[in-house]
Amino acid sequence: MNTSEYDPRNRARDVTFVADRMQVELVDGRAIVVPLEWYPRLHNATAEQRENWRLIGDGHGIHWPDVDEDISIIGLLEGRPSVEFTRTHPRA
């Protein structure tokens, strides 16, 4: 098991979207920027749906209720795109 998942620094504080990217700011000041296409549900969502998010698991994850998307911070740190993306991009 990867213990970095439980590292208290690996918690989100804020989420923003710029063009075709999602940026997640962590509580320790780091920022993770990923291509929005990695998360087709968010990519296809409206700006209002993307902005309707909440932190889950004390900030170890993010949930978008309008599009039924959940993303873990450890997954972002490990560079893992969504299952939907990997099904259509098997070499990613």
Q: Which residues of 2-22 are buried (b: 16+ CB within 10 A; e: fewer)?
A: eeeeeeeebbbeebeeeeeeb
Confidence (pTM): 0.89
Asked if 61 and 73 count as a contact pair (C-beta separation under 8 A), the reply is yes
The string of pLDDT tens digits covering residues 71-88 is: 999 999 999 999 999 998
Model confidence band, residue 31 (pLDDT cutoffs 50, 70, 90): very high
> Which residue ranges make up each domain of the chain?
3-88
Model confidence band, residue 90 (pLDDT cutoffs 50, 70, 90): confident
Helices (H) and strands (E) counted in the chain, each on its own, are 4, 6
The string of pLDDT tens digits covering residues 49-67 is: 999 999 999 999 999 999 9
For residue 1, what pLDDT is reported?
41
The CATH fold of domain 3-88: NE0471 N-terminal domain-like (3.30.2020)
